[in-house]
């Protein structure tokens, strides 16, 4: 299990934990893996600094990663406007029909109003928003890995990261994009099977992982999508992966910031409840099926807008469903992103407990597999 990637990063096990919770980042890194802080829903540079300052102060001598979103194809991308001007322009592009439909759904499900009149923030989903955050992350000695969640990073971003002495990678679910990542000079790729939560492709992990490993060899490949136990980790490593990228595993841990009502939604879910929909961001995204995802499939209702307009449209619901998770029927329209392994997650564990369990299950599965070999 101790791969070349472990040696490069000086970590004990190649378990990458993607999360939006700073506590999870710290605890996974302390347990021997590496926590990766997702910045997509961070609303300002000041908020990011607060989060990363806390991680730096609590992580000790361990390292962490930083996940950003610089999409190659988005409405308004590369407009030359400031982040604020761009966001204002995007708001103007949202049809009133969509706004009315969204507000109707929110009211019908009894989600309380936000506590003030502030406009919901978009998060960090454009180059103009991401670059100041990336520049701050690169000033932090313990932040050693940068990952782009949507597409190949621009050349100047890759150069900036590598010149700082850090590794940079990107997610993909296809051979075409994996080869583009390699040609761009990235240090690794994350092969994201369709089972994974959040933005995902259409190729299942058992096909995706070895195909991408072969396509970009000898470039390291981290396997993502469908990893919830040590047996699945062994399968990924057996197909040539240099590590595993996990996300759903950390949604219900003790350290996760989510309210109990949201954690209970995850704990009760079956694998078949994790479906793909464009109803939250405008791109295919896997999350728990509920009234919201189903409503946008009805031909009588509006179609989802292209990314990032749909993301902006849902921003108010996203913040309200997180704040008021247990109110009314909020969970029936909440943004509960997760992968298909959510059906395996039935109890609340600690981060350290999850890492220990993965390692123990991996070793047991490896011993069982070796026992099948003839004497």
Can you give the CATH number for the domain in which 331 is found?
3.20.20.70
Query: Using DSSP, how many helices (H) and how many strands (E) does the chain show?
Result: 15, 11
Higher model confidence: residue 5 or residue 76?
A: 5
Quick count: other Cβ atoms within 10 Å of Cβ 211? 16
Residue range 86-98, pLDDT digits in tens = 888 899 999 999 9
Strand-pair partners of 51: none
Q: And the tokens for 354? A: 């999850």
Q: Is the pLDDT of residue 15 over 60?
A: yes
375 domain residue, yes or no: no
Q: Give the residue-averaged pLDDT of 58-78.
A: 82
What is the three-class DSSP state of 81? Answer: coil
Place of tokens 């464009």: 278
- Closest to 228 (Cα-Cα) out of 152, 339, 105: 339
199 domain residue, yes or no: yes
Strand-pair partners of 275: 287
Q: And the tokens for 164? A: 């700082």
Domain that includes residue 331, residue range:
4-368
Q: Is the pLDDT of residue 2 over 80?
A: yes
Return the pLDDT at 81: 72
373 domain residue, yes or no: no
242 domain residue, yes or no: yes
Rg (alpha carbons) of the chain, rounded to whole number = 20
Residue range 257-287, pLDDT digits in tens = 999 999 999 999 999 999 999 999 999 999 9
- Closest to 362 (Cα-Cα) out of 240, 220, 237: 237
Confidence grade of residue 293 (pLDDT, cut at 50, 70, 90): very high
Q: Is 43 exposed, middle or buried (0-12, 13-18, 19+ CB in 10 A)?
A: middle
Please check whether residue 323 is in contact with residue 257, taking contact to mean a CB–CB distance below 8 angstroms.
Answer: no
321 domain residue, yes or no: yes
Number of domains in the chain: 1
220 domain residue, yes or no: yes
Task: Tell me how far apart the alpha carbons of residues 59 and 30 are, in angstroms, rounded to a whole number.
Answer: 7
Q: And the tokens for 134? A: 């990336």
Specify the pTM.
Answer: 0.95
168 domain residue, yes or no: yes
């Amino acid at each position: 299990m101790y791969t070349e990637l472990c040696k490069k990063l000086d970590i004990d096990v190649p378990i990458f934990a993607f999360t939006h919770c700073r506590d999870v980042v710290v605890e996974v890194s302390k347990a021997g893996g590496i926590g990766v802080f997702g910045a997509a829903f961070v609303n300002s540079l000041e908020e990011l600094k607060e989060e990363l300052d806390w991680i730096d102060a609590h992580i000790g001598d361990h390292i962490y990663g930083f996940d950003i979103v610089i999409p190659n194809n988005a409405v308004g991308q590369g407009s030359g406007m400031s982040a604020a001007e761009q966001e204002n322009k995007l708001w103007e592009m949202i049809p009133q029909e969509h706004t009315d439909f969204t507000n109707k759904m929110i009211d019908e499900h009894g989600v309380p109003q936000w506590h003030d009149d502030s406009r919901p923030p978009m998060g960090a989903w454009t180059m103009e928003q991401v670059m100041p955050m990336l520049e701050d992350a690169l000033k932090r000695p313990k932040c050693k890995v940068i990952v782009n969640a949507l597409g190949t990073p621009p050349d100047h971003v890759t150069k900036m990261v590598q010149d700082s002495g850090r590794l940079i990678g990107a997610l993909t679910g296809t051979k075409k994009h994996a080869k583009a990542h390699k040609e761009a000079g990235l240090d690794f790729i994350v092969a994201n099977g369709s089972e994974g939560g959040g933005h995902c492709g259409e190729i299942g992990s058992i096909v995706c992982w070895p195909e991408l490993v072969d396509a970009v060899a000898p470039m390291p490949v981290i396997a993502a999508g469908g990893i919830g136990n040590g047996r699945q980790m062994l399968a990924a490593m057996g197909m040539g992966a240099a590590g595993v990228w996990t996300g759903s595993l950390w949604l219900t841990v003790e350290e996760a910031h989510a309210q109990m009502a949201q954690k209970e939604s995850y704990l009760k879910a079956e694998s078949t409840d994790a479906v793909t929909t464009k109803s939250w961001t405008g791109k295919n995204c896997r999350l728990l099926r509920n009234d919201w995802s189903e409503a946008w499939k009805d031909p009588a209702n509006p179609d989802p807008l292209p990314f990032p307009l749909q993301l902006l449209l849902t921003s108010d619901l996203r913040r309200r469903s997180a704040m008021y998770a247990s109110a009314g029927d909020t969970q029936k329209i909440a943004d509960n992103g997760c992968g298909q392994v959510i059906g395996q997650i039935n109890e609340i564990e600690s981060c350290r407990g999850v890492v220990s369990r993965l390692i123990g299950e991996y070793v047991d599965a490896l011993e069982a597999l070796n026992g099948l070999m003839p004497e």
